[in-house]
Amino acid sequence: MTTTTGPVLELEGVTRTFGAVTALDDVSLRVEHGELVGLLGPNGAGKTTLLSLVSGLRKADSGTVRLFGGDPRDAASRIWLGTTPQETGLPPTLTVGEVVDLVAGHYPAPMPRAEVLARFGLEDLAKRQTGGLSGGQKRRLAVALALVGRPRLVLLDEPTTGLDVEARHILWQALRDYHADGATVVLTSHYLEEIEALAERVVVVGGGRVLADDSLQAVLGLVGLRRVLLTLPASSTLDPSNLPGAHVAEVTDTADGRRWTVLAADADALVRALVHHDVPFSDLELRGASLEEAFLALTARADAGDTDPAPTGRTAGTGTTPAADRDVDRDAEEAVR
């Protein structure tokens, strides 16, 4: 039996393996009503596996998965769930409008066809057969279909893959509007600016475990890196990446010299080292790390064997087994279907 109280979805100590490979290792995660959560991680991190467990496509080897308080593999638990997997098949001979009506017929109080098409800018395609749509148009339709039944939880796996910039922004606004109406949204994405644009909470997954789980700003703060930009004369032989506190450096030749971008754990120490070396630097800028930099730093920490989970305001799993690659993930999904 499902419930409207408690978390929308919850995983407790969940492990899922494919042969000798562990995709999720003792993962715990809880999402409350009305949250908009961005799920980040490299290929094979376990993101798609996690969503497939929540949507009932797979069963955990151990641990507990709950959807609206019930078992995701029970149809009654999924009545308020909308989902778009990475790959979606559409009946090629049906029109866009007919597909919307077909999906709507499975729900007790669906959105009207006109509302669905308007939210995603699909009005002009209503009479077009889905077989004649471009890849981006099919993707927009697939995401639109996830909302037809007015779900209280929407799971979106790489929702804007194949979309151009304009179509991506249309989808972003549609998701913002739907979330503003009280829905819970969980999405994975490799477009890190998409997570920055949409998510209020970020969960970083790597190596089959949760590396970070907190607000967007808190996840950025976990990394503790600052971006230091400065210009050095072209004649300078100093490499700022060798200075105290520096991690990575990139350089670009400019008319004024060489423009360096340095990621530093201690920006103050880096600047003091520049002064100590009597380097005539100019155009100094200090900025916070971007989400992409935070993401790369967190996953690099896991790859280096740092098994201590990053401090967060939420529960995180602590496994260390490498995750399954995406090809294994997809093969297993096909087997379950």
Domain residue spans of the chain: 9-221+308-336, 225-288
Token pair of 106 as six digits: 């499975």
Which CATH architecture best describes the domain 225-288?
2-Layer Sandwich (3.30)
Mean of all residue pLDDT scores within the chain: 84
What's the pLDDT at 38? 94
What's the pLDDT at 247? 73
Domain 9-221+308-336: which CATH number of 3.40.50.1820, 3.30.70.260, 3.40.50.300, 3.40.1800.10: 3.40.50.300
CB 7 within 8 A of CB 30: yes
Q: Answer whether residue 4 shows pLDDT above 70.
A: no
Percent of the chain predicted with pLDDT > 70: 86
Per-residue pLDDT tens over the stretch 60-88: 999 999 999 999 999 999 989 999 877 77
- Which of the pair, 19 or 318, is modelled with greater confidence? 19
Q: Answer whether residue 308 shows pLDDT above 90.
A: no
What does the DSSP assignment read for 102-143? HHHTTSSSPPPHHHHHHHTT-GGGTTSBGGGS-HHHHHHHHH
Instruction: Tell me the mean pLDDT in the region 174-191.
Output: 92
Out of 42-56, 94-108, 245-259, least confident range: 245-259
What is the spatial distance between Cα 90 and Cα 106, in angstroms, rounded to a whole number? 16
Instruction: Tell me the mean pLDDT in the region 201-213.
Output: 90
Per-residue pLDDT tens over the stretch 9-63: 999 999 999 999 999 999 999 999 999 999 988 778 899 999 999 999 999 999 9
At 22 the three-state DSSP class reads strand
Out of 80-89, 238-247, 266-275, 318-327, least confident range: 318-327
pTM of the model: 0.74
- Which of the pair, 292 or 230, is modelled with greater confidence? 230
Token pair of 29 as six digits: 């995660």
